[in-house]
């Protein structure tokens, strides 16, 4: 018997191309329809002894995966802050896979290195951050925070005479790290990976938007000595709120502290003139983490670690070895700015998406989502029992539910389930500030006023029906 061809047939390529074109436009469920056991039956099959025809494998993959896919590429997806992979980026990502480049160092893929160089320049211009900053291309905001905080660790210890790269953490003075008690979990994860624990953390009590108050931060910083790092938030994951960066950066200067800003999605507000009051002072920080796969809609995974002090960045990340060839004529060497060596050439998709959108396209996208959040808030403002936490600063909207006698304790979960059952929108509840709230995100690629109207009407109808049942 002849073994199947190791290469997919031309028909298989056409099949995938047709599928890619139709997947975003056809009617489909916004939330997974398969139970875990169904997905296991489809995926967890015995590995065959002999090769399987690649065309059949692709068909099997589509059949197995579709019932377990989440609808985050749909404009009516509001459950989490997740982008929806712009199709220009998808095409560039397909080319990236075909080219199969390892973007480790310049010489393993000069094209990948220079694409990153171009995107880094564009990012600093778009976000109006210090132009001498260096940029690492990573998987997302967690690893971007890891890179920024690694540079912070090295630099604040160097300022007090400790060479971290030589002596490590074992004999280092205690580093105090100040952050809101409602900071995003990705920052704590990054700190843990970097060797910091609870003994290092100084949690500042947060306000209603989950943010630090500069006065409280000033008092806490005055009580400790030694190397210090501050983590601020640009776009709180629930409220969308921003810290007072002018006040916090002033404290950082006075204490010789490093200021890192978690701007996973909120950093993009900096490109809108009307959001200047929120983003003023962001450029005074030392490092910033931001996603590409959220608001920019670059295919997963894409994140950027931006560091003002390129030398500190390279000191924290650079790895050298005899086989990692370097020449004076090389361009940007990616391994100086990332924790990975072998890695995907993420710069190609980022380059394609940014070039396709242009400056005005990025501004229009961010503005449209902020406007959509505002429109939804207005349309929900008159519903008894549904309380808008605050007028949205950005693209996040939080609804708190007022319980009546006889209401179930899981009222928010029941409301979300009733909304999702319509399959017209997709939402999720969240636990925040001691309550279960309905948290709405507006960030999917094509989300606009039409989705605001549909979402508001679906919530209104589901709430009315749920209240009738509860009554």
H-run or E-run covering 411:
helix 411-421
Residue 11's pLDDT is: 87
Tell me how many degrees the CA angle 64-342-111 measures, rounded to the nearest 5: 100
Q: Residue 12: pLDDT above 90?
A: no
pLDDT of 14 > 60? The answer is yes
DSSP line for 241-266: -B--HHHHHHHHHHTT-EEEEE-TTG
User: Which residues on adjacent β-strands are paired with residue 206?
Assistant: 212
Q: What percent of the chain has pLDDT over 70?
A: 98
Q: Is the pLDDT assigned to residue 8 strictly greater than 90?
A: no
Residues sharing a CB contact under 8 Å with residue 235, sequence separation 6 or more, in sequence order: 241, 242, 263, 264, 265, 266, 267, 269, 394, 396
Q: By the 8 A CB rule, do 337 and 313 touch?
A: yes
What phi and psi, each to the nearest 5 degrees, are found at residue 425? Answer: -140, 165
> What tens digit of pLDDT does each residue of 318-333 get?
988 989 899 999 999 9
DSSP state letters, 152-188: HHHHHHHHTT--HHHHTTTTPPPPEEEEETT--HHHH
User: Each residue of 446-458: pLDDT tens digit?
Assistant: 999 999 999 999 9
Per-residue pLDDT reduced to its tens digit, 163-222: 999 999 999 999 999 999 999 999 999 999 999 999 999 999 999 999 999 999 999 999
Average pLDDT in the chain:
94
Rg (the chain; Cα; Å): 24
The predicted-structure confidence for 387-424, as pLDDT tens digits, reads as follows: 998 889 999 999 999 988 777 888 999 999 999 999 99
In the structure, what pLDDT confidence band is assigned to residue 3 with cuts at 50, 70 and 90? low
Give the Cβ contact number of residue 227 at 10 Å: 24
Residue 440 in contact with residue 451, Cβ under 8 Å?
A: no
**Residue 132's Cα: distance from chain center in Å?**
24
Longest dimension (CA), the chain: 78
Please give the pLDDT value at position 64: 97
- Amino acid 223: pLDDT: 97
Q: Quick one: pLDDT at residue 316?
A: 96
Beta bridge partners of 430: 437
Distance of CA 387 to the CA centre of its chain: 27
**Six-digit token pair at 448?**
């606009």
pLDDT at 2 over 80: no
Q: Which band of pLDDT confidence, cut at 50, 70 and 90, is reported for residue 26?
A: confident
Peptide bond into 301 cis (omega under 30): yes
Residue for token digits 């809108």?
272
Contact 125, 362 (CB under 8 A): no
Predicted confidence (pLDDT) per residue in 220-258, tens digit: 999 999 999 999 999 999 999 999 999 999 999 999 999
Contact 147, 191 (CB under 8 A): no
- Report the pLDDT averaged over residues 105-125: 97
Among 12-16, 179-183, 258-262, the minimum mean pLDDT is found in: 12-16
Is the pLDDT at 470 greater than 70? The verdict is no
Does residue 79 carry a pLDDT above 60?
yes
The two tokens of residue 213 are 């108050």
Residue with tokens 């073994």: 3
């Amino acid at each position: 018997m002849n073994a199947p061809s190791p290469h997919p047939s031309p028909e298989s390529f056409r099949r995938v191309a047709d599928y890619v074109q139709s997947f975003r436009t056809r009617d489909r469920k916004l939330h997974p329809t398969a139970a875990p056991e169904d997905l296991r039956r489809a995926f967890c099959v015995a590995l065959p002894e002999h090769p399987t025809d690649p065309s059949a494998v692709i068909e099997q993959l589509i059949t197995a995966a579709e019932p377990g896919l989440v609808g985050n590429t749909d404009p009516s997806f509001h459950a989490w802050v997740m982008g929806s992979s712009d199709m220009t980026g998808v095409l560039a990502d397909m080319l990236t896979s075909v080219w199969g480049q390892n973007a480790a160092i310049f010489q393993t893929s000069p094209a990948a290195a220079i694409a990153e160089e171009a995107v880094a320049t564009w990012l600093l211009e778009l976000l109006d951050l210090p132009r001498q900053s260096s940029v690492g291309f990573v998987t997302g905001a967690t690893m971007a925070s890891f890179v920024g905080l690694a540079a912070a660790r090295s630099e604040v210890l160097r300022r007090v005479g400790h060479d971290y790269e030589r002596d490590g953490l074992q004999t280092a003075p205690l580093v105090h790290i100040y952050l809101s008690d409602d900071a995003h979990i990705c920052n704590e994860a990054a700190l843990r990976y970097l060797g910091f624990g609870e003994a290092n953390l100084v949690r500042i009590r947060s306000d209603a938007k989950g943010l630090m108050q500069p006065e409280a931060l000033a008092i806490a910083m005055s009580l400790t000595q030694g190397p210090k790092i501050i983590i601020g938030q640009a776009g709180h994951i629930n409220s969308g709120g921003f810290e007072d960066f002018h006040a916090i950066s002033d404290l950082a200067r006075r204490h010789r502290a490093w200021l890192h800003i978690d701007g996973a999605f909120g950093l993009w507000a900096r490109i809108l003139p009307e959001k200047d009051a929120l983003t003023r002072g962001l450029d005074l920080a030392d490092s910033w983490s931001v996603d590409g796969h959220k608001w920019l809609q670059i295919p997963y995974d894409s994140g950027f670690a931006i560091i003002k002090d390129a030398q500190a960045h390279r000191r924290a990340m650079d790895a050298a070895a005899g086989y990692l060839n370097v020449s004076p004529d090389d361009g940007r060497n990616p391994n100086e700015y990332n924790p990975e060596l072998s890695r995907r050439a993420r710069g190609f998709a980022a380059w394609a998406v940014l070039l396709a959108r242009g400056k005005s396209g990025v501004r229009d996208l961010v503005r449209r989502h902020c406007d959509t959040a505002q429109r939804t808030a207005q349309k929900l403002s008159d519903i008894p029992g549904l309380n808008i936490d605050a007028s949205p600063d950005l693209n996040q909207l939080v609804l708190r539910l007022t319980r009546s006698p006889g209401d179930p304790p899981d009222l928010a979960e029941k409301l979300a389930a009733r909304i999702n059952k319509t399959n017209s929108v997709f939402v999720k509840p969240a636990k925040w500030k001691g309550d279960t709230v309905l948290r709405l995100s507006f960030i999917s690629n094509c989300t606009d006023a039409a989705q605001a109207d549909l979402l508001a009407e679906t919530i209104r109808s589901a709430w009315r029906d749920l209240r009738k049942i509860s009554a």
